[in-house]
């Protein structure tokens, strides 16, 4: 037990443990969590459980535009609070960007290109979200509440490859080896700097000794503080011949890569990638495809979603909102729907093309938020050669080519027969370059570039492919928002405020960005403010 301390005046000052215990007794778990977060003892999270909405005024109604996750969560929680809720959705399915494509699905693009997905039964591609970080608590909560089964997503695999056309003669190397060599060389350089007194102004004599000891252990340096070929370094980076049994059981150490190659940007960027807060393990994925989440949400809203409804106008007055839409299932017949309030989750790329009756500030925000695109290519192979031949079970391989990476499926390990790997995940300018190609050209480019990792198997095992370029999808024409400081300063608060009887929600109305968690937290915030306003009216 920590002894209490005294203030300069001699007054009793409780220890942190005593203070937290008192807060917990007085305020309960929620108060304790907030206090722990403020003191740095708990991981900050904006999700505090589902909202406690109740007592909606009799007959109060809400129209929700868009049956993505933000829209469906808004509808679900408002329905529980007693509102009469209806959703209008442009597509013939729920989920929005929470989307999985399977064999037999048809993808229609801006410009007229049509893809019919040819994957074998049970195989799929998640063109949008495909992994859930462990700290995205809202997503995990509602998956559990709605019975959406989750399984691990293999994020880090040291047996995957890293490739740069400017390093190692343009040949891919195993991530585990290059990662070990990077920290080994850096440890050796830092140890040299310490021994030469270069850090004397920064560390004490005691800390210098600790730092040298740390570098020797962390970097696997020898007695001379050098990173060299040895059985110790090979225990981290891999052996030329691994330990075995019998006559040839003795391991043979491998030769570390040189400093110049491991300093290639693709190499250290891959190491840094896994330290990003949202890219750390553990991660999860729904069993059977990401759209299981959207389907789980939709099951909670029986008969409430009108599909094939293309919204064309959002009008509002002091007494309510009126939405005009085209019924695409009936040849585009124009219809209207009315309610007391509206929660709009339509992506801003589309909303900016719709007539919206709102303040000039909100209209400027809708039109002023930048977006980016991406392109994913799913390649179905005859067999899991990456597992059978190269012992890669899940995880990624990275490259400085425009495909950016390969990702190996985190399910169906050891399963015989066809499987789909992610053959490209292009972003930035590369995403628009892929978008400018035909679907067939995108698949061919993914095969061409991806062959650098698996030259003997890639084309030989290829069966068919599907390439989803988000800039070519008519229901969004982009992937997600790309807020910058200037745009946030000018538009963010105007975008998220309640404007008359209209409030917006979605990943665009968050600081999180292109994650499902962004959509859910934005939705929860919007409906709680809307409910408070409705109750006060």
Q: What is the pLDDT of residue 34?
A: 42
Q: What is the pLDDT of residue 48?
A: 86
Structural domain boundaries in the chain? 5-38, 61-92+307-368+483-536, 101-156+281-291+374-472, 175-264
Give me the helix-helix angle, 137-145 and 291-298, nearest 10°.
60
Q: What is the pLDDT of residue 296?
A: 98
- Per-residue pLDDT tens for 103-118? 999 999 999 999 999 9
Residue 7, pLDDT > 60, answer no
Find the radius of gyration of the CA atoms of the chain.
27
Which whole number is the average pLDDT over 15-21?
51
Share of the chain above pLDDT 70, in %: 92
Q: What is the pLDDT of residue 276?
A: 84
Element housing 108 (H / E): strand 106-108
- Per-residue pLDDT tens for 234-290? 999 999 999 999 999 999 999 999 999 999 999 999 988 888 888 887 899 999 999
Which whole number is the average pLDDT over 371-397?
98
Which whole number is the average pLDDT over 21-41?
44
61-92+307-368+483-536 CATH choice from 1.10.150.120, 3.40.50.720, 3.40.47.10, 3.50.50.60: 3.50.50.60
Which whole number is the average pLDDT over 431-441?
97
Query: Which CATH number applies to 175-264?
Result: 1.20.1440.240
User: Which residues, 6+ apart, have CB-to-CB distance to 24 below 8 Å?
Assistant: 31, 32
Which whole number is the average pLDDT over 41-45?
48
Residue 428, pLDDT > 50, answer yes
Distance CA 333, CA 469 (A): 30
In this structure, is the dihedral angle defined by the CA atoms of residues 73, 76, 79 and 80, taken in order, positive or negative? negative
Q: What is the pLDDT of residue 3?
A: 36
Of residues 537, 154, 75, the one with CA closest to residue 345: 75
- Band (pLDDT 50/70/90 cuts) for residue 9 is very low
Residue 25, pLDDT > 70, answer no
Q: What is the pLDDT of residue 11?
A: 41
- Band (pLDDT 50/70/90 cuts) for residue 45 is low
Of residues 68, 491, 501, 463, the one with CA closest to residue 290: 68
Report the phi/psi class of residue 493: left, alpha or beta, with left for phi > 0 and alpha for psi in -120 to 50: alpha
Q: Which residue has the tokens 């005859």?
A: 382
Which whole number is the average pLDDT over 332-347?
97
Distance CA 197, CA 285 (A): 49
- Per-residue pLDDT tens for 170-220? 999 999 999 999 999 999 999 999 999 999 889 899 999 999 999 999 999
Share of the chain above pLDDT 90, in %: 86
Helices (H) and strands (E) in the chain, counts: 18, 29
- Band (pLDDT 50/70/90 cuts) for residue 17 is low
Secondary structure letter of residue 304 according to DSSP: T
User: Which residues, 6+ apart, have CB-to-CB distance to 504 below 8 Å?
Assistant: 343, 344, 345, 351, 362, 366, 495, 496, 526
CATH level 3 topology of 101-156+281-291+374-472: Polyamine Oxidase; Chain A, domain 2 (3.90.660)
Q: What is the pLDDT of residue 22?
A: 54
- Per-residue pLDDT tens for 103-159? 999 999 999 999 999 999 999 999 999 999 999 999 999 999 999 999 999 999 999
Q: Which strand ranges, in their side-by-side order, compose the sheet holding 321-327?
A: 333-339, 321-327, 309-316, 355-356
Average pLDDT, the chain: 92
Q: What is the pLDDT of residue 278?
A: 84
Q: What is the pLDDT of residue 39?
A: 43
Find out whether 78 and 62 touch, Cβ atoms under 8 Å.
yes
Q: What is the pLDDT of residue 15?
A: 52
Q: How do 341-344 and 321-327 pair as beta strands?
A: unpaired
DSSP E strands, 204-307: 239-241, 252-253, 283-286, 305-306
Which whole number is the average pLDDT over 467-490?
96
Distance CA 479, CA 506 (A): 13
Residue 6, pLDDT > 80, answer no
- Per-residue pLDDT tens for 47-103? 888 999 989 999 999 999 999 999 999 999 999 999 999 999 999 999 999 999 999
Q: What is the pLDDT of residue 363?
A: 98
Distances (CA, A) of 291 to 120, 154, 294, 523: 18, 19, 5, 19
Which whole number is the average pLDDT over 432-446?
98
């Amino acid at each position: 037990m920590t002894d209490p301390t005294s203030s300069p005046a001699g007054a009793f000052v409780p220890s942190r443990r005593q203070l937290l215990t008192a807060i917990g007794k007085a305020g309960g778990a929620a108060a304790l969590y907030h206090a722990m977060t403020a003191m740095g003892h708990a991981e900050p999270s904006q999700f505090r459980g589902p909202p406690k909405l109740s007592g909606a005024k009799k007959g109060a109604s809400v129209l929700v535009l868009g049956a993505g996750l933000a829209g469906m969560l808004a509808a679900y929680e408002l329905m529980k609070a007693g509102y009469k809720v209806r959703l209008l959705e442009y597509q013939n399915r729920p989920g929005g960007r929470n989307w999985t494509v399977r064999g037999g699905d048809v993808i229609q693009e801006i410009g007229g290109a049509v893809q019919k997905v040819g994957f074998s039964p049970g195989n799929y591609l998640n063109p949008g979200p495909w992994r859930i970080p462990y700290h995205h608590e809202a997503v995990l909560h509602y998956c559990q509440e709605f019975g959406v089964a989750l399984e691990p997503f293999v994020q880090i695999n040291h047996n995957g490859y890293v490739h740069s056309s400017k390093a190692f003669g343009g040949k891919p190397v195993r991530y585990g080896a290059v990662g070990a060599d990077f920290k080994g060389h850096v440890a050796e350089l830092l140890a040299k700097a310490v021994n030469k007194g270069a850090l004397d102004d920064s560390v004490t004599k005691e800390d210098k000794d600790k730092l040298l000891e740390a570098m020797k252990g962390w970097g696997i340096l020898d007695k001379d503080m050098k990173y060299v070929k040895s059985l110790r370094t090979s225990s981290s980076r891999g052996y030329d011949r691994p330990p075995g049994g019998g006559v040839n059981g003795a391991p043979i150490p491998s030769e570390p890569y040189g400093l110049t190659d491991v300093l290639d940007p693709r190499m250290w960027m891959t190491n840094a990638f896994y330290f990003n807060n949202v890219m750390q393990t553990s991660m999860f994925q729904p069993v059977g495809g990401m759209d299981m989440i959207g389907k789980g949400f939709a099951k909670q809203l029986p008969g409430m979603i009108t599909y094939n409804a293309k919204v064309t106008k959002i009008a509002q007055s002091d007494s309510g909102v009126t939405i005009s839409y085209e019924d695409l299932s009936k040849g585009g017949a124009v219809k209207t729907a009315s309610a007391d309030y509206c929660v709009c989750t339509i992506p801003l790329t589309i909303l900016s093309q719709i007539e919206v009756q709102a303040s000039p500030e909100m209209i400027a925000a809708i039109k002023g938020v930048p977006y980016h695109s991406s392109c994913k290519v799913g390649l179905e192979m005859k067999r899991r050669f990456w597992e059978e031949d190269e012992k890669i079970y899940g995880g990624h391989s990275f490259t400085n080519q425009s495909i950016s990476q390969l990702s190996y499926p985190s399910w169906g390990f050891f399963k015989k027969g066809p499987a789909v790997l992610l053959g490209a995940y292009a972003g930035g300018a590369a995403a628009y370059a892929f978008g400018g190609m035909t679907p067939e050209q995108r698949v061919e480019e993914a095969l061409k570039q991806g062959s650098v990792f698996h030259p003997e198997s890639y084309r030989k095992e290829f069966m068919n492919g599907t390439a989803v370029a988000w800039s070519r999808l008519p229901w969004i024409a982009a992937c997600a928002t790309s807020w910058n400081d200037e745009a946030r300063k000018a538009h963010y608060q105007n975008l998220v405020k309640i404007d008359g009887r209209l409030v917006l929600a979605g990943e665009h109305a968050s600081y999180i960005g292109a994650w499902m968690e962004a959509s859910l937290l934005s939705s929860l915030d919007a409906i709680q403010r809307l409910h408070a306003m409705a109750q006060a009216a």
